[in-house]
């Protein structure tokens, strides 16, 4: 079985990590695969790749390029299956196509109601076009894969005809990398409560609300510090990030938060191990890799109350009303004063991650999906 993976959109965040891990797993398993990636994308040297510059094109040029020139490359390489790993695929593909839909915001009412209106007219037009392209890509794919039931339901709500071709294949974490440290200690109410938020920045991540919560916790006598894997300059330059920029800048001035920027994947376990509690204020996700990583490391989680967070974390998290700072503060304070519940969340997270989020099982299911598409 020969597979071509269209990973041209992989730049940062979850899709970049996913692409590198998948390439590594395919290589270890001897899967005949070729990864189409951008010229700048870093990947293991022994992986078969096609380097292309399509990621530098405008959206319209990119669409035309993929439907014309990318199609010709597929015919040239003649794979058994094409894996389009980032929402968009070929129309009328000459080979069976499996499409991975990782985009939830364009179909998520909570996102569209709270984040969508703040975008510029140009961004709004782009979102409408992207939504239509994703649905058309799905229509022309033999099999559609989503990383969660929540994402599947959002797609089905947009087009019921897709339901019978959608397969849910949850992501997993590398258990040999993200494991509970041997010297992991139960939290004790002393010193500083160290909160952690791991994510790249997009407006729907709303990290500013966590910064404001930290200020209120300190005012209540709970000494708290927040670490975020984001970059302030990048937030300032992001359309829709103005409010988060202001709130995070205030947090920096109060010396209550630290922005450490992007952390290499292999170094993330150390970052998790140096903190007490994981917070996740995002209001729209298709999966949420950091949630699984935090659970694997034994960190209790406080997340915004959304369907996807409840699906992934289950009984390993406490949920607060999205956008409501007072509820977030209350949930942190309650957990801080309840060591029994704290330790239960930690144990539940480790158990949940081992049972439901194995990376190797994800790859097993993905290969089975490819075989099904071919047959």
Mean pLDDT of 323-336: 96
pLDDT of residue 239: 86
Quote the pTM value: 0.91
Q: How many CB atoms are located within 10 Å of the residue 216 CB?
A: 17
| Res 329 pLDDT > 60 | yes
CB-side neighbour CA atoms (13 Å) of 15:
20
pLDDT of residue 186: 58
Mean pLDDT of 219-234: 96
> What values do phi and psi take at 37, rounded to 5?
-135, 165
Q: Which two tokens stand for residue 17?
A: 């990590």
| Res 142 pLDDT > 80 | yes
Q: Which residues neighbour 242 within 8 Å (Cβ) at sequence distance 6 or greater?
A: none
Query: Residue ranges per domain, the chain?
Result: 2-172+358-374, 193-356
pLDDT of residue 274: 93
pLDDT in tens, 259-302: 999 999 999 999 999 999 999 999 999 999 999 999 999 999 99
Q: Given 1.20.900.10, 3.30.450.40, 3.40.50.720, 3.40.50.2000, which CATH number is that of 193-356?
A: 3.40.50.2000
Mean pLDDT of 318-327: 97
Q: What is the mean pLDDT of the chain?
A: 92
Q: Which of the two residues, 66 and 316, has the higher pLDDT score?
A: 316
| Res 248 pLDDT > 80 | yes
Q: Which is nearest to 64 in space by CA: 85, 88, 40?
A: 88
Quick check: do 2-172+358-374 and 193-356 share a fold? yes
Asked whether the beta carbons of 171 and 292 are under 8 A apart, the reply is yes
pLDDT of residue 331: 97
Q: What is the DSSP letter of 178?
A: S
301 three-class SS: strand
pLDDT of residue 181: 62
Asked whether the beta carbons of 179 and 200 are under 8 A apart, the reply is no
pLDDT in tens, 92-101: 999 999 999 9
Q: Which two tokens stand for residue 293?
A: 């990583």
Question: According to the CATH classification, is domain 2-172+358-374 in 3.40.50.2000?
Answer: yes
Radius of gyration of the chain (CA): 21
Mean pLDDT of 137-156: 96
> What values do phi and psi take at 292, rounded to 5?
-70, -40
Q: How many CB atoms are located within 10 Å of the residue 205 CB?
A: 24
């Amino acid at each position: 079985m020969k597979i071509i993976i269209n990973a041209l959109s992989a730049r940062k965040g979850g899709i970049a990590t996913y692409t590198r891990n998948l390439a590594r797993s395919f290589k270890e398993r001897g899967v005949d695969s070729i990864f189409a990636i951008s010229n700048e994308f870093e990947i293991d040297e022994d992986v078969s790749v096609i380097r292309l510059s399509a990621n530098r094109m405008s959206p319209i040029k990119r669409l035309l390029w993929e439907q014309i020139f990318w199609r010709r490359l597929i015919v040239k390489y003649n794979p058994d299956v094409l894996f389009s790993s980032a929402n968009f695929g070929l129309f009328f593909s000459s080979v069976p196509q499996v499409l991975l839909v990782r985009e939830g915001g364009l179909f998520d009412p909570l996102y569209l109601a709270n984040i969508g209106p703040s975008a510029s007219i140009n961004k709004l037009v782009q979102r409408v076009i992207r939504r239509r392209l994703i649905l058309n890509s799905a229509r022309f794919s033999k099999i559609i894969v989503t990383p969660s039931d929540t994402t599947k339901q959002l797609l089905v709500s947009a087009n019921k005809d897709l339901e019978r071709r959608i397969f849910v294949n949850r992501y997993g974490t590398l258990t040999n990398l993200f494991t509970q440290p041997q010297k992991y200690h139960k939290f004790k109410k002393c010193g500083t409560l160290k909160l952690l938020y791991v994510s790249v920045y997009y407006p729907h991540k709303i990290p500013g609300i966590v910064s404001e919560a930290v200020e209120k916790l300190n005012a209540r006598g709970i000494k708290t510090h927040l670490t975020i894997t984001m970059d302030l300059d990048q937030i300032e330059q992001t359309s829709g990030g103005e409010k988060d920029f202001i709130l995070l800048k205030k947090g920096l001035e109060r010396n209550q938060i630290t922005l450490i920027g992007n952390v290499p994947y292999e170094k993330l376990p150390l970052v998790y191990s140096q903190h007490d509690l994981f917070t996740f204020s995002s209001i729209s996700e298709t999966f949420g890799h950091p949630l699984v990583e935090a659970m694997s490391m034994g960190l209790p989680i406080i997340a915004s109350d959304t369907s996807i967070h409840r699906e992934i974390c289950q009984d390993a998290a406490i949920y607060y009303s999205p956008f409501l700072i007072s509820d977030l503060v209350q949930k942190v304070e309650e957990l801080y004063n309840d060591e029994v519940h704290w330790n239960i969340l930690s144990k539940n997270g480790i158990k949940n991650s081992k049972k439901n989020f194995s990376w190797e099982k994800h790859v097993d299911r993905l290969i089975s999906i490819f075989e099904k598409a071919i047959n």
